[in-house]
Structure 1
Amino acid sequence: MLIVTNTGSVSKRLIEAVEREFPWVLVEQVESVVAGCRSFAHPVALILVDVSLMHEAEAAAAMLSRVHPHALAAVIEPYDKMQTTSFSAIADSALFRSVLPMDMRLDIWLSIIRLMLCGGEYLPPGSLVGVRAGEPASPPPAHNGVPVGQRKAESSVAELTARELQILEMVSRGLQNKLIAAGLGLSEHTVKIHLHNIIRKLGVHNRTEAAARFRNARNSNAVFD
């Protein structure tokens, strides 16, 4: 795991907590994006970049992707100070897919780290990713008689990861988080994070709507052909 920050946004205590929780993970910390654009002793799975260095990292996105081709990149959000403009920038980013909040309980924070290390994405609840000021309120135009928004909703289940589909299938069978966690060998916090991402990706309001979307997709063979 590579941390790029010159503000001390990730403390030594948090780094020690990561290394205790994930003993197979080595943490490297550098103070500039340039220092992160090099190979390390082990492959990098996760790059955490302080929001103050976000634009510098975007400028070096091609280099970072070439040197660390399998790494997910996330912006460190220092104590809920991230601005809507930064969320909008992430929505258009070729590098960043996730945000790591720093104002959470340690166990939840570590669950988000675990999710990211496994290639999952995380955005804080209520973030305005993708929202643009001045967007027209009218429905998008239809294509072949089907509104674009409807076609997107129908395909959204297919965009879930294998783990998210697995969890959503269990939700559709009425299983609660505790049973899902036990069945998959995960913590309840990790299951909650997956569910948050599922709900966000599907554009629904709760797990009940997400389960209904899954059943509709299964009945139409949208995901399982």
Structure 2
Amino acid sequence: MIAKKDLLSECLAEVLSKKFPTYDVVIHERDEAVTKDVESCATLVLLYRLPFEDITAVLQRLKIKNSDTSVGIVVESISKLECQLATLAESREIAGVLPANLRLDVFVAAVELLVKGGEHFPSALLHLLSSEPPSPADAALDGPLVATARPAQGATATGDTSALTTREVQILDLICDGRQNKIIADRLGLSENTVKVHIRNIYKKMKVRNRTEAASHFFGTGRSAATARQN
């Protein structure tokens, strides 16, 4: 965690330490020097209630040090930073946004998802990415976990999964499980660059812009049915 060391951040670190006993949970002040070893081996970096200019500075540093580290941002309110966070989410610079007003069990579940390589974005950001206003029913989902498995409203406006090849369906299925490109490549015996090419083709065929939209549409149109069709 990169955060101001206060009661709230230290309590959160204690909770996460108990939830993830095999991981070291450490708080670094935002101006504190972080060793290269920490940055190179960190599974997840949580930016806890930092000003946006500090967020961008940390992201730039992590991009140079270790592109495989997942980054989650804990914010006081989605509305205050909505457009800026949406830009970061769409560019894949972050893996998730966690509002500070989530219930503790939901917050911990979201962190666990990020640790496993998945994503977590509140519905307000998902709708901002799709340029659609959230409905009252979707607004009620901001408390529970909203992740890649959540079908997005308006998914029928995207492309048809029937156009995907067998290999593309295999890759999309692993994306829905929150797998990173390196893991997908190892699982399917491909190079990481080949996986990236397949993912770009998936986005083009499905008419989506990112993993969140692709996974949401895949779930919305019937993941099991598409997989069975390719088999």
On whether the aligned pair clears a TM of 0.5, the verdict is yes
Deviations 1:73-115 (A, max 9, x none): 1111225554321332223435212112222222221111111
CA drift at 1:23: 0.9
Q: What is residue 19 of structure 1 aligned with on the other side?
A: 17
Structure-to-structure mapping, 1:1-225, within 5 angstroms: 3-6=1-4, 8=6, 10-32=8-30, 35-36=33-34, 38-40=36-38, 43-50=41-48, 52-80=50-78, 82-127=80-125, 128-132=127-131, 149-150=158-159, 155=164, 158-161=171-174, 164=177, 201-204=214-217, 209-210=220-221, 212-219=222-229, 221=230
Q: Do the aligned partners of residues 203 and 76 (structure 1) sit closer, same or farther apart at CA in structure 2, a change above 3 Å counting? A: same
Deviations 1:126-157 (A, max 9, x none): 32342459xxxxxxxxxxxxxx9425785585
Asked if 2 retains the 8 angstrom alpha-carbon contact of 1:48 and 1:73, the reply is: yes
CA drift at 1:164: 2.5
| 2:23 maps to amino acid | V
CA drift at 1:204: 4.5
Identify, as 1 or 2, the structure richer in helix.
Answer: 2
Q: What is residue 187 of structure 2 aligned with on the other side?
A: none
For structure 2, the residue ranges without an aligned partner over 5 or more in a row are: 133-156, 179-210
Q: What percent of counterpart residues are identical?
A: 16
In terms of mean alpha carbon deviation, does 88-97 or 99-108 score higher?
Answer: 88-97
Counterpart CA distance in 2 for 1:131 and 1:163 is 18
Q: Do the aligned partners of residues 13 and 60 (structure 1) sit closer, same or farther apart at CA in structure 2, a change above 3 Å counting? A: closer
Identify, as 1 or 2, the structure richer in strand.
Answer: 1
RMSD between superposed Cα atoms in Å: 3.9
| 2:102 maps to amino acid | M
TM-score, length-scaled by structure 2: 0.57
Asked if 2 retains the 8 angstrom alpha-carbon contact of 1:30 and 1:36, the reply is: yes
TM-score, length-scaled by structure 1: 0.58
Q: Which has the larger radius of gyration?
A: 1
Counterpart CA distance in 2 for 1:19 and 1:160 is 31
Q: Do the aligned partners of residues 93 and 14 (structure 1) sit closer, same or farther apart at CA in structure 2, a change above 3 Å counting? A: same
The alignment covers a number of residue pairs equal to 171
